[in-house]
Chain A
């Protein structure tokens, strides 16, 4: 079938060749202020050409000219110069239209790979567009047109020039971030930033520029680069292009890009993956990626390459989200209708990011439709969603607002009596306004709020929430340089209260306030050097915990742990250096400086022995604004790429990172009551180094991507907890924590097919993560000071995510995952104490729970593609844990009635069926 389509294209190509070979007729005639239609009538009689023209206001044009043995083109040109009309001659047919000229042929070198990068003047084509205004930005969708970039000159100059512009969606005008813009021949590739902006340096001359983005139809532009200039590129949704020819010859972004250990998933893929209750879930999809582990189904927390859950920087439109989960960890707090894509950096973390050790998860929301108001609504088992988007000022300002809310609360009330006291509710809302001030300036305002409240058969109510706001201003100085100024405020808080017992009624609270600002510059020096640099600052304010009485009868003594504040600043610089077309280097340096700021009280301990309250030697109180202590250090971000062939490359990288804020949690899964702690004189920042190497090979015209990545990582000063540690309301947390060192290594294999009816990926990860209590001053050593596996050390992990599109409207999705059971600490014996047998524990994590295997499937029914229809509905039917396996979440041993019983706890004990309805309007 595909061959047939090629054939058709080749025929068209042949005709255009023929047309080019034609001799144009010669005209001898004179016209004096005649109507344009009369002029065309005359030409019609003089030539054997057919003429088509747009009659609207056509006769407002008067033609005065004298032609003596002039070619037809020359005559037409003279007649319509400065009229706004374009003409096109094609196969003895003349089209005269207002606006853009009619495109009639594919570019000459459409099927040739030897698009000439030299400075030879392009050969003549049948498309004539002499009337173009070269100073205007070109907005074109045609791939079969030659674009002139820069001020057109008769001769193409020597040297290089810069081409820049925006990649946008053709229907909604939304920018497309992460689109690869590249010239295959030269192995020069750039990626559009989150505003869809790209800038590429090329030798002057003719190029075939390819543009690719996930979920979009591949496109390309024939460019005649004369000088620095702008070219905006619009892309279509892949879904609408089913009947067109898809040339997938250049899917080599994974081969050519500098980065390694980066996973990018767009919302379409996210929505295809079946999940529990059918709620498309960003973080669950992250957990299917190679190198990412989770401790269990009740946790949206994830562990990247042996890092702990608090070592992930989770950004939502540049705002830091401290607790990305709803419903105590069953769902992630991101509305799938607002999310556009996510990117997970596991290894090559760009120097502009810092502050966390393991990964950066960058979640980008969509920008609103700039052309018309649209919306969508979703109805799921547990949540409902509404999204509305549209222009505030057409083509300039757009908004998107989204909200989600659960109705689990009333559902719980319908449950049997024993659950009547349970409650759970959550909501989240987003807003994004983007405003295009002018060609040089864009402004973006993002707001995010999420809130959770629950109690489960107890009188203690838990509540937590995020609030974030950020403002971004993008300024393009010129084609070579642009800047991005970001400022924002992030807030996370939780609150626990209980008031059944009036004497003990309390409220406990914790919060983080974080103000951040970043100024980022991007400078394209030339085709071989690109510079990224900037500075960033985060000002933290923490309320580590407060306990206050609730109600008049409460005897609770208020206990408020001193507020903490700190400033984390960094300067960074990255250079991307294309040494040869095949070999490139990206070297980044980030220098971070951390100041722990008063007012606060700091304890000093006798050195060399365990830190306990009994060993406090001194208590120092610092006044407000005083720098109590400072930490600083360099972070290196290096990566190297060598493209062995066009479809095979090798990459290597080295990364070092520092983290100044620590999550304190002594539970396996992230609990909503976990608190964060800033580094202080007694708690050192965590540091980590990672070295990695990867091999990337594409097959079948780049439609199948394969990769092998391997890494070795070391972590220092990671905080682990002494047994029975008191973490909340503890003014001297250092007495309950200890420093550990960690090492992690692994291999990640991935085969990915992202196009075609059948798409998806298979990944296999083998990885190990070990921790060791290195600090001999901590008292009892865990596992005698030997390495022990971390909670999330799951050596084998296989994931298969697949989607098969049966027709335009029906598709099936499958998600299969297998992993080794996570390590747990099990009893090695028992003892009798206080009337009961009790389990005796010794070495940490010496045993594993049974292996995990799950199969999920779903069927999606898309709406029909009738554009005129007002409302489009889509349905998803699915089964989570289709095999009904009782996968273990934990295995535990508990003393009951005097004896020890062992239990296996599964979160989902059976298959869960779900149905989801989505309405687009």
Chain B
């Protein structure tokens, strides 16, 4: 009896705790409707000192309903200005995207961006120092309990960087479940010439989160194992080979704090102890109307990047498997037509060569990797 009681209690407690933390407590909630369009100017980008172009994107805040997409701010004139009077123009290459450079800047000067919008209002960012980004020391990865974690390491021997921001681009190679040797063309079977194209593909993902880190509390300017991303256990990203490019920039203290607040109000919500979300002004001010809200913080920095590759063999065991059902299709014209004529299935191989009695086949999704990526090999892929 006693044992039963304890067991009962344990079950109940486990259930309760599961309820306490289970995802079912989180439900989708519709975005609020019918809200006024504030139409604030958004200035997204930084002034690049070095080999890359400087890219400033201008847009407007839009209503939440999502039909409008991004409202681009076209037709503005945008230029970079130094505190000793030099100007560098940017040109609109596509709506709302203003590009210039590469600019080689004087590291003892300060720079800002000036904008005159099509409606004649002028905006300026505050002058910012030129930040020099130290190179990435290495990208470190480690297989942990829940997957492969990727970290970045860097340091600044001059102890001047302290505030870092990262972005990454992941690319991974993957294969179809089977190699297709035949194709069904014009009512007949023939040997396939583009088998490689269906078999080997790549997919990529560009980070969309704000990733920042600081060494301001450390005695040396060291970033040790700052977490960048992780690959879930047995994910298809490592079904063959995976690559990550990490881009690093050094920020000014104020730019760092601005991004930190933005991250808190847009990405880090949903806990029990949430701060109240806010939208803050950055360092761009409307010259004629200083109280106008402008979003964005324009800083001056350089870009450093590094790429690594990870193979499935490096992380084994990696239990990725894309399970496909293989059918056997008799080599009878009208059955072949029924089976392959609509593109839903793709033949794998013939049985009974040279006199083929049947074909093995699987669904197009299994056979053609282009459904899940591109067969165009990225330039950096070895």
Nearest-neighbour CB distance to chain A for B193, whole angstroms, equals 38
Given that A833-B295, A909-B19 are contacting pairs, would A903 and B29 also be in contact in the complex, using a CB cutoff of 8 Å? yes
Q: Is B316 positioned at the interface, with any CB of A under 8 Å from its CB?
A: no
Is the CB–CB distance between A411 and B17 below 8 Å?
A: yes
Nearest-neighbour CB distance to chain B for A483, whole angstroms, equals 44
Q: Is A915 positioned at the interface, with any CB of B under 8 Å from its CB?
A: yes
Is the CB–CB distance between B59 and A900 below 8 Å?
A: no
Is the CB–CB distance between A829 and B35 below 8 Å?
A: yes
Nearest-neighbour CB distance to chain B for A148, whole angstroms, equals 56
Look across to chain B and name the residue whose beta carbon is closest to the beta carbon of A890. Answer: B274
Is the CB–CB distance between B276 and A411 below 8 Å?
A: no
Is the CB–CB distance between B38 and A902 below 8 Å?
A: no
Selected interface stretch from B131-139, B205-213, B326-334, B356-364 = B205-213
Is the CB–CB distance between A381 and B13 below 8 Å?
A: yes
What residues on A are CB-neighbors of B215 within 8 Å?
555
Q: Is B63 positioned at the interface, with any CB of A under 8 Å from its CB?
A: yes
Q: Is B225 positioned at the interface, with any CB of A under 8 Å from its CB?
A: yes
Nearest-neighbour CB distance to chain A for B108, whole angstroms, equals 22
- Give how many A residues have a beta carbon under 8 Å from the other chain's beta carbons: 81
Is the CB–CB distance between A910 and B19 below 8 Å?
A: yes
Selected interface stretch from B257-265, B346-354, B372-380 = B257-265
What residues on A are CB-neighbors of B277 within 8 Å?
825, 827, 839, 841, 892-893
Q: Is A445 positioned at the interface, with any CB of B under 8 Å from its CB?
A: no
What residues on A are CB-neighbors of B21 within 8 Å?
415, 419
What residues on B are CB-neighbors of A669 within 8 Å?
272-273
Given that A886-B27, A894-B267, A898-B208 are contacting pairs, would A831 and B63 also be in contact in the complex, using a CB cutoff of 8 Å? no
Q: How far is the CA of A277 from the CA of B16 in the complex (A)?
A: 8
Query: Which B1-55 residues have a C-beta within 8 angstroms of A?
Result: 5, 8-10, 12-14, 16-22, 24-32, 35-38, 40, 42, 44
What residues on B are CB-neighbors of A897 within 8 Å?
208
Q: Is A414 positioned at the interface, with any CB of B under 8 Å from its CB?
A: yes
A379, A381, A408, A902: the one within 8 Å of B31 (CB): A902
Q: Is A74 positioned at the interface, with any CB of B under 8 Å from its CB?
A: no
A668, A828, A891: the one within 8 Å of B29 (CB): A891
Nearest-neighbour CB distance to chain B for A910, whole angstroms, equals 5
Q: How far is the CA of A913 from the CA of B8 in the complex (A)?
A: 12
A503, A723, A780, A890: the one within 8 Å of B222 (CB): A503
What residues on B are CB-neighbors of A825 within 8 Å?
276-278
Among B57, B270, B275, the one with the most A-chain Cβ atoms within 10 Å of its Cβ is: B275
What residues on A are CB-neighbors of B60 within 8 Å?
831
Among A669, A839, A917, the one with the most B-chain Cβ atoms within 10 Å of its Cβ is: A839
What residues on A are CB-neighbors of B260 within 8 Å?
724
Is the CB–CB distance between A913 and B12 below 8 Å?
A: yes
Nearest-neighbour CB distance to chain B for A507, whole angstroms, equals 12
Q: How far is the CA of A791 from the CA of B37 in the complex (A)?
A: 25
Look across to chain B and name the residue whose beta carbon is closest to the beta carbon of A724. Answer: B261
Given that A381-B13, A412-B17 are contacting pairs, would A893 and B269 also be in contact in the complex, using a CB cutoff of 8 Å? yes
Q: How far is the CA of A827 from the CA of B261 in the complex (A)?
A: 15
Look across to chain A and name the residue whose beta carbon is closest to the beta carbon of B24. Answer: A909
* Interface SS of A by simple majority: mixed
Given that A328-B272, A826-B32, A909-B19 are contacting pairs, would A840 and B279 also be in contact in the complex, using a CB cutoff of 8 Å? yes
What residues on B are CB-neighbors of A673 within 8 Å?
273
Is the CB–CB distance between B278 and A828 below 8 Å?
A: no
What residues on A are CB-neighbors of B167 within 8 Å?
835
What residues on B are CB-neighbors of A724 within 8 Å?
257, 260-261, 264, 278, 280
Among B5, B70, B209, the one with the most A-chain Cβ atoms within 10 Å of its Cβ is: B209
Given that A839-B265, A907-B25 are contacting pairs, would A834 and B17 also be in contact in the complex, using a CB cutoff of 8 Å? no
What residues on B are CB-neighbors of A892 within 8 Å?
269-270, 274, 277
Is the CB–CB distance between A895 and B61 below 8 Å?
A: no
Nearest-neighbour CB distance to chain A for B215, whole angstroms, equals 8
Is the CB–CB distance between A671 and B218 below 8 Å?
A: no
Is the CB–CB distance between A557 and B28 below 8 Å?
A: no
Report B268-301 CB contacts with A as 1/0, cut-off 8 Å. Answer: 0110111111111100000000000001100000
Nearest-neighbour CB distance to chain B for A917, whole angstroms, equals 8
Q: How far is the CA of A603 from the CA of B272 in the complex (A)?
A: 35
Is the CB–CB distance between B44 and A832 below 8 Å?
A: yes
Q: Is B107 positioned at the interface, with any CB of A under 8 Å from its CB?
A: no
Among B40, B145, B224, B266, the one with the most A-chain Cβ atoms within 10 Å of its Cβ is: B266
Query: Which B35-89 residues have a C-beta within 8 angstroms of A?
Result: 35-38, 40, 42, 44, 57, 59-64, 66, 70
Q: Is A631 positioned at the interface, with any CB of B under 8 Å from its CB?
A: no
What residues on A are CB-neighbors of B93 within 8 Å?
none
Look across to chain B and name the residue whose beta carbon is closest to the beta carbon of A553. Answer: B224
Nearest-neighbour CB distance to chain A for B159, whole angstroms, equals 12
Q: How far is the CA of A298 from the CA of B270 in the complex (A)?
A: 13
Q: Is A382 positioned at the interface, with any CB of B under 8 Å from its CB?
A: yes
Is the CB–CB distance between B16 and A894 below 8 Å?
A: no
Q: How far is the CA of A602 from the CA of B281 in the complex (A)?
A: 29
Is the CB–CB distance between A838 and B62 below 8 Å?
A: no
Report A370-381 CB contacts with B as 1/0, cut-off 8 Å. Answer: 000000000101
Q: How far is the CA of A547 from the CA of B178 in the complex (A)?
A: 57
Q: How far is the CA of A835 from the CA of B206 in the complex (A)?
A: 9
Q: How far is the CA of A902 from the CA of B5 in the complex (A)?
A: 42
Given that A329-B272, A886-B25 are contacting pairs, would A555 and B19 also be in contact in the complex, using a CB cutoff of 8 Å? no
What residues on A are CB-neighbors of B20 within 8 Å?
907-908
Nearest-neighbour CB distance to chain A for B176, whole angstroms, equals 26
Look across to chain B and name the residue whose beta carbon is closest to the beta carbon of A412. Answer: B17
Q: Is A418 positioned at the interface, with any CB of B under 8 Å from its CB?
A: yes
Among A414, A503, A917, the one with the most B-chain Cβ atoms within 10 Å of its Cβ is: A503
Nearest-neighbour CB distance to chain B for A329, whole angstroms, equals 7
Look across to chain A and name the residue whose beta carbon is closest to the beta carbon of B276. Answer: A825
What residues on B are CB-neighbors of A829 within 8 Å?
35, 37-38, 61-64
Is the CB–CB distance between B25 and A902 below 8 Å?
A: no
What residues on A are CB-neighbors of B272 within 8 Å?
298, 328-329, 669, 889, 907
Q: Is A26 positioned at the interface, with any CB of B under 8 Å from its CB?
A: no
Report A829-854 CB contacts with B as 1/0, cut-off 8 Å. Answer: 11111111011111010010000000
Q: How far is the CA of A555 from the CA of B217 in the complex (A)?
A: 8
Is the CB–CB distance between B62 and A831 below 8 Å?
A: yes
Look across to chain B and name the residue whose beta carbon is closest to the beta carbon of A881. Answer: B19
Q: Is A914 positioned at the interface, with any CB of B under 8 Å from its CB?
A: yes
Given that A382-B13, A411-B13, A666-B276 are contacting pairs, would A828 and B218 also be in contact in the complex, using a CB cutoff of 8 Å? no
What residues on B are CB-neighbors of A171 within 8 Å?
none
Query: Which B122-140 residues have a C-beta within 8 angstroms of A?
Result: none
30 sampled A-B residue pairs with Cβ under 8 A: A328-B273, A379-B9, A411-B14, A415-B21, A501-B225, A503-B222, A667-B273, A673-B273, A723-B280, A724-B260, A780-B281, A827-B31, A828-B64, A829-B38, A832-B42, A833-B295, A835-B167, A836-B209, A892-B269, A895-B208, A898-B208, A902-B32, A903-B28, A904-B27, A904-B29, A906-B27, A908-B19, A909-B25, A910-B19, A914-B16
Enumerate chain B interface residues (CB-CB to A < 8 A).
5, 8-10, 12-14, 16-22, 24-32, 35-38, 40, 42, 44, 57, 59-64, 66, 70, 145-146, 167, 206-210, 215, 217-220, 222, 224-225, 257, 259-262, 264-267, 269-270, 272-281, 295-296
Question: Given A502-B224, A668-B276, A832-B42, list of 8 further CB < 8 A pairs?
Answer: A382-B13, A827-B64, A829-B35, A831-B295, A833-B44, A834-B210, A913-B16, A915-B9
Q: Considering the complex of A and B, which 5 residue pairs feature the smallest CB-CB distances, nearest first?
A: A503-B224, A723-B278, A724-B261, A555-B218, A902-B29
